[in-house]
Structure 1
Amino acid sequence: MDKRRIYLLLVLCAIVCGVKAQESVFTGDADASFLNAREIAFAGRRGEARDTLRLILSKYPNYTEVRTLLAKTYSWDAAYDEARIEFNKITSSNKNNKEVWVAAIKNEIYGKNYSTAIGLSNKALLYLREDMDIMVLKEEAIQAIATSREKELSIQESDSILPGIKEFKNSVDVSGSIDVFNKVYDPMYLTSISYTRKTKYGSIIPRINYANRFNTSGVQYEVDAYPQFSKKVYMYTNYGFSDASIFPKHRAGAELYVNLPKAMEVSLGARYLNFVTSDVYIYTASFGVYRGNYFFSLRPYITPSAGNSLSVSGNILVRKYLKDNYNYWGANFSYGYISDLKQFKNGTTLLAETLLYLETQQLNLEYQFTFKNNPNALKTMVGVTRQELSFDPGNFFIAGTVGFIYQIKF
């Protein structure tokens, strides 16, 4: 009797499993079922429609219209990641389907994944060359990023708060760098610590710099302030003091910044350096613009010298932002000497303003990233400098630089 019951139970299980297996395999009219699912989806019963669409795809995985509708229903329900998976399955094999490309790009725009939308647009234009609808969507994504960047521009270059990220009013920056030379000079070291306090009137940043150059150590005290006059206009001011021979005795700076439409920014300012034997005035300006995830900045420096001549230097910065303003990589090329960054000696005499007129080229690379579940940021830097020897005109040395800045927010 027990054996019969066991046998009947096994047969019943087999029947049930067979029925379930049959239910998971589509056996109806695919076209009719698709039209029915579309009506259900448009009626707002998208979950029910997806069940039907997935069942059709179990037998007809290459039915493009079915998978497109499935992806769209995900997008309508703000399930942008799920929609992206389905769209990618189509575009990976069917590269000339304009409807799918348009829907996929719109999905990223709806999800505010503007960088991904631009990337998809560029990819779509490889197959649908100069398609106006795709180009319009690409421009919409670019403008969305530009508008976002414009809103995020603050008293420090793009150091603003993104939606969904907690705003921190305080931060401490700890930095260090070393310069190593291929001739003449011993390594140079620079470290600093600064505190940033953000207020509704702007930010104030006291800083202490410590350097060891040519077996000589020194400390410089600085304070930066960024008074904010409006959402479009702010200012940079600086004052520094040091009794050490390896720093200027006094330094000061002021620059006015104006944010323009279309994520552009311009500035005009001056720097003052007081050395033991003379004063130096440097005039500067800048032009910055955001395009997509990229930021471009051009900054010249003009320094009057004796005999009514001018020293002209400057730098170009290119930066690509990643997931937000706190994650990016960049490259900075400089031509001419930046006086307050490095100083050298000729014998026992500290060279100061004379270095402003030496031929110099610098290339610096930077990469900043934040940590998962941690608001702090780490910026790493590496660079190379080619500079004329002050005591041997026409002869150059090469220097390599590595450094970091660690920012603690609270």
Structure 2
Amino acid sequence: MKFYYLHISLLFFFFTIIGKSLAQTTMDADANFITARDLAFSGEKVAARKQLNALLKHYPEYSDASVLLAKLDSWDGNYDNARRQLNKITSNKRNHREAWMAAIRNEKYAQNNQIALGLTQKAISYLGTDEELETLREELITTLTTTPEIQETLKKENQELNRRNTIGVFTGAEAFDMVYDPIYRGELNYQHRSKIGTVIPQIQFSQRLDTIGAQYGLEYYPKINKSWHGYLGYFYSKATIFPNHTAGAEIYKELPKGFEASIGGRYIQFGAGGSVIIGTGSFGWYKGNSYFSARPYVAIKDDGGIGVSGTLLARRYFRDGDTYFGARLTYGFDSQLNQFIANDRLLSETILYLESQRVDLEYQFANKNNSNVYTVNAGVRRQELAFDSGNYFWGFNVGLRYQIRFK
């Protein structure tokens, strides 16, 4: 009997010690988490990360620590890292409210409002009625139905002045199925962005008609206020393959529900004689992560002749405003003012009255921190022969643009 009571006493002592150890372990883990949380909220992110990583090393299933670590990534702009960590947690623990809230806010910070709305609806389906989640859901629906995502993204990127300067280079070529030799193009430009707008001095090069020439230009995109901005530009060239003088001005107005409109004009004076005034404008629409635009051109020659052209543009944006796929359709005269020869005579303003159709595709993408931007384009056109009205030739073009951004 004594042996029996001794055995019971030892077991009781053993389980008491184990229970105290487990309680102490939990207390230590919780205490470390509270310390890390206090460090994070006081702005000491490095110390908080160190504490959380040490905690997770010993207690890898401590999900609250993983959520806080993901929040730190999100606060620092590392949205992809935060997204991966939070996806793991919400996939394994459907009822972890704080993980859902962090995941939704992470997508809002990243300007992915459509994804944030989807996560909010998922969270409500798993967690049930939740006043804060319902409020977030209503806010996101309002944002998405009043201001398209990409329009807000582009606004935000245009306001950021972390990289005010950009150097860009472009090279391209176009070949034809008959009569004309290939055209080669190049461009070097510098962009400086400030609170009052963007200034772009540039040099454009071209080799066509066995002639190499350059055109020098300056463009300015002034910011007038939140809903108005403009365009001013002037180009000059002595080369016969470019107009002598080109000047332009346009005013843009942002309209409700993702619409925008503009009106403006261009003045072109050709070296071979003659000039033309081109009236233009645009009507654009931002819809979710897409943008659509229509732009007409009406050319009025100094002798009273009229030429008409128009373009339709569509873009689908992806990760941000620097990543998109676009298509442009043009009908009417060649708005790029490519000059050709007919009967040994250089065409100037005549090109504004030749029938032409073209399709151009482009894809733009950037590296992870958007400091390097690449644009590739390809297109095809069908244009009327100046010396043989009613007959056409085909042209095929490709090009590559590279931009590097810096402070």
Q: TM-score, normalised by structure 2?
A: 0.68
Distance 1:214 1:236, change over 3 A: same
Q: Which residues of 2 match residues 355-366 of structure 1 at below 5 A?
A: 355-366=351-362
Q: 2:328 aligns with which of 313, 325, 332?
A: 332
Answer yes or no: is 1:257 the counterpart of 2:252: yes
Distance 1:140 1:306, change over 3 A: same
1:209 correspondence with 2:212: no
Aligned mates of 1:279, 1:306 — CA distance in 2: 6
Paired with 1:241 and 1:291, the residues of 2 have a C-alpha distance of: 38
Q: Which amino acid aligns with 1:361?
A: Q
Match of 1:117 in 2: 115
Cα deviation 1:136-163 (Å, max 9, x = unaligned): 687446248626724744xxxx96156x
The count of residues paired between Structure 1 and Structure 2 equals 337
Q: How far apart are the structure 2 equivalents of 1:73 and 1:209?
A: 52
Distance 1:112 1:321 in 2: 14
What pairs up with 1:242-391 in 2 under 5 angstroms? Answer: 242-275=237-270, 276-305=272-301, 310-373=306-369, 375-391=371-387
Render the CA deviation track for 1:196-254: whole Å, top value 9, x for unaligned: 12233222211111110021111111111122222322221111111111000111111
Task: Please give the alpha-carbon distance, in whole angstroms, between the structure 1 residues aligned to 2:68 and 2:146.
Answer: 24
In 2, Cα distance between the equivalents of 1:329 and 1:303? 30
Between the aligned partners of 1:347 and 1:376, the Cα distance in structure 2 is 45
Write the distance in 2 (CA, Å) between the matches of 1:168 and 1:331: 28
1:59 matched residue in structure 2: none
Identity rate, percent:
35
User: 1:331 and 1:139, CA in 2 relative to 1: closer, same or farther beyond 3 A?
Assistant: farther
Aligned to 2:219: 224
1:372 and 1:252 map into 2 onto residues whose CA distance is 37
Distance 2:334 2:401 in 1: 20
RMSD: 4.2
Q: 1:395 to 1:407 in 2, by over 3 A?
A: same
Q: How much does 1:117 deviate?
A: 1.9
More displaced stretch, 352-361 vs 297-306 = 297-306
Match of 1:194 in 2: 189
CA contact (8 A) 2:277 2:301 kept: no
8 Å Cα contact 2:186/2:205 also seen in 1: yes
Equivalent pair of 2:146/2:258 in contact (CA under 8 Å)? no
Distance, in Å, in 1 between the alignment partners of 2:254 and 2:318 is: 22
Structure 1 pair 217/112, CA: closer, same or farther in 2 (3 Å)?
closer
The AA in structure 2 aligned to 1:142 is L
Aligned residue identity for 1:248: P
Q: Is the 8 A contact 1:293 1:322 kept in 2?
A: yes
- How far apart, in 2, do the equivalents of 1:320 and 1:74 lie? 33
**Are the counterparts in 1 of residues 343 and 387 from structure 2 also a CA contact under 8 Å?**
no
Shift of the alpha carbon at 1:87? 5.6
Q: Partner letter of residue 326 of structure 1? A: D
Q: CA, structure 1 residues 180+297, in 2 after alignment: closer, same or farther (shift >3 Å)?
A: same
SS in 2 for 1:262: helix
Task: Determine if contact 1:331/1:366 at 8 Å carries over to the other structure.
Answer: yes
Distance 1:111 1:221 in 2: 41
Structure 1 residues without counterparts, runs of 5 or longer:
1-18, 24-43, 48-53, 56-70, 92-101, 125-132
How far does residue 311 in structure 1 lie from its aligned partner after superposition? 1.9
Q: CA deviation at 1:184?
A: 0.9
Instruction: Give how far 1:173 is off.
Output: 1.1
Q: Which runs of 5+ in 2 are unaligned?
A: 1-17, 23-36, 38-51, 53-60, 75-81, 95-99, 123-133
Deviation of the 1:194 alpha carbon: 1.1
1:236 aligns with 2:236: no
Shift of 1:73: 11
* Residues 306 and 235 of structure 1, relative CA distance in 2, 3 Å threshold: closer
Match of 2:403 in 1: 407
Q: 1:147 to 1:180 in 2, by over 3 A?
A: closer
Distance 2:208 2:165 in 1: 31
Q: SS of the counterpart of 1:84?
A: helix
Q: Distance in 1 between matches of 2:180 and 2:378?
A: 19
- For 1:242 and 1:397, the matched residues in 2 are separated by 28
Q: 1:169 offset after TM fit, Å? A: 1.6
1:160 aligns with 2:153: no
Moved more, 396-405 or 255-264: 255-264
Find the aligned partners of 2:375 and 2:182 in 1 and give their Cα distance: 22
Q: Partner of 1:67 in structure 2? A: none
Residue 82 of structure 2 is aligned to residue 84 of structure 1: no
Contact 1:171-1:195 at 8 Å conserved across structures: yes
Provide closer, same or farther for how the CA distance between residues 171 and 108 of structure 1 changes in structure 2, counting only shifts above 3 A.
Answer: closer
Query: Take 2:195 and 2:360, find their aligned partners in 1: how far apart are those partners?
Result: 33
Pair 1:222–1:76, CA change in 2 (3 A): closer
Contact preservation (8 Å) 2:235, 2:247? yes
Q: 2:89, 2:157 → 1: CA distance?
A: 36
Q: 1:75 to 1:195 in 2, by over 3 A?
A: closer
Q: Secondary structure at the match of 1:334?
A: strand
Paired residues of 1:243 and 1:249 also in contact (CA < 8 A): yes
**Aligned counterpart, 2:55:** none
Shift of 1:379: 1.0
Give a deviation string over 1:238-272, Cα, whole Å, max 9, x none. Answer: 11111111000111111111222333321110001
State the distance in 1 between where 2:294 and 2:346 align: 30
